[in-house]
Structure 1
Amino acid sequence: MSRRSRFSEHIEAVISIVHFGQFLSVGAVGTVCDNIVLLLLSETGIAAALAATLKISDSSLIVAKIVSIETAIVVMFLLNEHWTFGDEGAAGTSALFHRLGKSHIVRTGGVAVQLIVFTTVYRVFNVTLSLMGIDLWLLIANGCGIVIGMIINYISESLFTWRIQDT
């Protein structure tokens, strides 16, 4: 098979409307988890305490964001594993943990982009927007990062974690 035809198969596999729709739905659940954990950690001071314990006190927002991302990644992996890509990949516990590890590695690009976009939007634009004491700008900046990171994650997860082009 030529490179061009393999590339075409990869593209066709990635642009599956069904998989993309499921991935978006799972992403919505992940976004809710991410935002809840981010708000909980940042608004209650838990992230500041954790950052101080780790001796990185100027980075409490980043600590909160990293924990919220990890929570969302695990939740989304489990949903994608059993729903979006439930018919893909090898069976068994070992294969499951292999895909979970691979998912974390694959998502590093999306996570890096998400952190950069989130930090840039939140700190550079520095808008004060709150409702009932909740920092809404935090959620808006988080949403910007999530959307950009999601595109990278969908392509990466489709091609490398579940290898949908091989089915």
Structure 2
Amino acid sequence: MGLVSTVRSLASGVRVGQFLGVGIIGLIVDNATLAALVSGFDTSISLGAIISKELSIIIMFFLNEYYTFADRRTPGEHIRQIYRFAKSNAVRAVGGAIGIAVLLFVNNVFGIWYLAANIIGIATGFFANYTLESIVTWKVHRA
């Protein structure tokens, strides 16, 4: 498949909306976990961000697996699901790293409250996550 079909697959309004909905759930999990770790357990923002990102990545994988990209699944493919989970985790590490870098930059340089800075970071990483997840993890361009 060529570039045109890849772009067409990425631009699917329904799939983008589903991915965004899952992302909102991930944002809530991420921020709630970050708040609990930093405020409740006196964890550093950096460590809290890493832990909260990983938890939200795991939850969002399963939501995307059974909702956003359900049409890309075939019954009885547990080994492929484990492989997709590993790929998804690696792919989302890119968006997560972008998000954490933005969180720390915005919080440290501009003094923006860490939870608001986290939302800015998550929004920044969204585009990398959607593009990479669509192409690498679920291969929507090969439909």
Q: Tell me which residue corresponds to 1:131.
A: none
Counterpart residue type for residue 38 of structure 1: L
Number of aligned residues: 142
Counterpart residue type for residue 40 of structure 1: A
1:85 aligns with 2:81: no
Deviation at 1:121, TM superposition (A): 0.5
Question: Structure 2 CA distance, aligned partners of 1:101 and 1:11?
Answer: 24
The ranges of structure 1 where at least 4 consecutive aligned residues each deviate by more than 4 angstroms after the TM superposition are none
Q: Tell me which residue corresponds to 1:57.
A: none
Deviation at 1:90, TM superposition (A): 4.4
Equivalent residue for 2:54, pick from 70, 89, 112: 70
Alignment TM-score, normalising by the size of structure 1: 0.82
1:122 aligns with 2:107: yes
Q: Which has the higher helix share?
A: 2
1:160 aligns with 2:136: yes
Q: CA RMSD in A?
A: 1.2
Q: How does 1:1-167 map onto structure 2 within 5 Å?
A: 6-47=2-43, 60-91=44-75, 92-127=77-112, 137-167=113-143
Larger Cα Rg: Structure 1 or Structure 2?
1
Percent sequence identity is 35
Counterpart residue type for residue 114 of structure 2: L
| Superimposed CA distance per residue, residues 39-84 of structure 1 (whole angstroms, 9 cap, x where no aligned partner) | 000001252xxxxxxxxxxxx2111000000010001000000000
Counterpart residue type for residue 106 of structure 1: V
Alignment TM-score, normalising by the size of structure 2: 0.95
- Please list every run of 5 or more consecutive structure 1 residues that lacks an aligned counterpart in the other structure: 48-59, 128-136
Question: Structure 2 CA distance, aligned partners of 1:87 and 1:46?
Answer: 42
